[in-house]
Amino acid sequence: MTALSAPSTPEQLAAMSDRAREVVRLNIEALEALERSLDSSIARAADVILSRPGYVVVTGMGKSGHIGGKIAATLASTGTNSFFVHPAEMSHGDLGMLRPDTTLLALSNSGESRELRDPLIFCARNDIPVIGLTQRPQSFLGRHSDVCLTMPKVAEACPNGLAPTTSTLMSLAMGDALAMVLMDRRGFTREDFGLHHPGGSLGMSLQTVREWMGDNAAAPASVPLDADFRTVVSAITEGRKGAVAVLAPDGSLAGMITDGDVRRAFTNDITALHAEDIMSRSPITVDPQARMSDVVDLLSANKISNLFVIDERRPVAIIHIAELMQAGYVS
């Protein structure tokens, strides 16, 4: 068992901090070199992908594979159908994922990864275009690529020049650049992005009120215009939303009574009060097709806790800010 090392001396702490800064600086320099080296090949790669109806299949070995997985996820979330396949798995049956309408995006810093040879040969035999991402355009990958995204040759931050560091960062940046170029060309919108991220805060905010309600939204507590004070209080209590809808004879929303309205009513003779006497006659409401982000904005801007969802003039649900906070719509 390896013994724990003694706490670092001030000199060692300073040296480690300097080394960390050096690594960051080397990465910055690598990205700057990548920016300077970019040419029309990335536009040609985008054209190849846009001309193909099928998926972009991303592959890579080792650290390049990890980066490839992230690139595939970014492509998929920004409008370009994509998934990652391990190159070794391709040699054992998964080459079937390379259909005639797909595009292969292969990553290898050296361009000579043995595991990439089978999928590259398969693509050549079946006229499946290959986009290669490598530092060596004359490598096996480079020679078998229809478009080669060539990264500049820069030193790794690893002192032994072995652990992929600057090279993987450049690969990631190149993948992000390709994804964003494709996103722009497709006209992929904020709403489109939200549809791919229903579990994230953006997707939640772009959700409609009807989607939030679901198929079984509970009808809001309600009382008629002539309901007495006791009935109003009972309805608010049973509804557990701090408010009750006041309905006109035809079932449309005539007003709203909140806990605050009830408290203020105690300054009068409550025995003579009816719902129409204490209700707010112009409550803030939303349509079922409104965005949940609009609901949050209305609640915040008007400093209110709840509002009704109105469909054909009738209240079909009530939204309370506490529910939105619990669900993550409001932080």
In this structure, the answer to whether residues 35 and 179 fall within a common structural domain is: yes
- Closest CA relative to residue 131, chosen from 159, 160, 102: 102
d(CA 126, CA 96): 11
Would you state the pLDDT for residue 321? 85
Give the count of beta carbons closer than 10 Å to the beta carbon of residue 9: 9
Burial class (CB in 10 A: 0-12, 13-18, 19+), 190: exposed
Q: How much of the chain, in percent, has pLDDT values that exceed 70?
A: 93
Instruction: Determine, yes or no, domain membership for 5.
Output: no
Q: Return the percent helix, strand and coil in the chain, to nearest 5.
A: 50, 15, 35
Angle between helix axes 41-50 and 166-186 (nearest 10 degrees) is: 50
In this structure, the answer to whether residues 259 and 140 fall within a common structural domain is: no
Which range among 20-29, 116-125, 187-196, 228-237 shows the weakest confidence by mean pLDDT?
187-196
What is the CATH classification number for the domain harbouring 182? 3.40.50.10490
Domain that holds residue 220: 203-327
Q: Which residue has the tokens 């099928």?
A: 54
- Count structural domains, the chain: 2
CA angle (81 as vertex; 122, 56 as ends), nearest 5: 20
* Distance set, CA 138 to CA 105, 112, 150, 152 (Å): 17, 10, 10, 13
In this structure, the answer to whether residues 182 and 218 fall within a common structural domain is: no
Would you state the pLDDT for residue 240? 86
pLDDT tens per residue across span 128-156: 999 999 999 999 999 999 999 999 999 89
Token pair of 262, please?
Answer: 């009830």
In this structure, the answer to whether residues 246 and 141 fall within a common structural domain is: no
In this structure, the answer to whether residues 181 and 214 fall within a common structural domain is: no
In this structure, the answer to whether residues 29 and 148 fall within a common structural domain is: yes
In this structure, the answer to whether residues 181 and 240 fall within a common structural domain is: no
Tell me the binding residues for Zn(2+): 86
Instruction: Determine, yes or no, domain membership for 197.
Output: no
In this structure, the answer to whether residues 22 and 146 fall within a common structural domain is: yes
Tell me the binding residues: 86
In this structure, the answer to whether residues 108 and 136 fall within a common structural domain is: yes
pLDDT tens per residue across span 175-201: 999 999 999 999 987 766 766 666 666
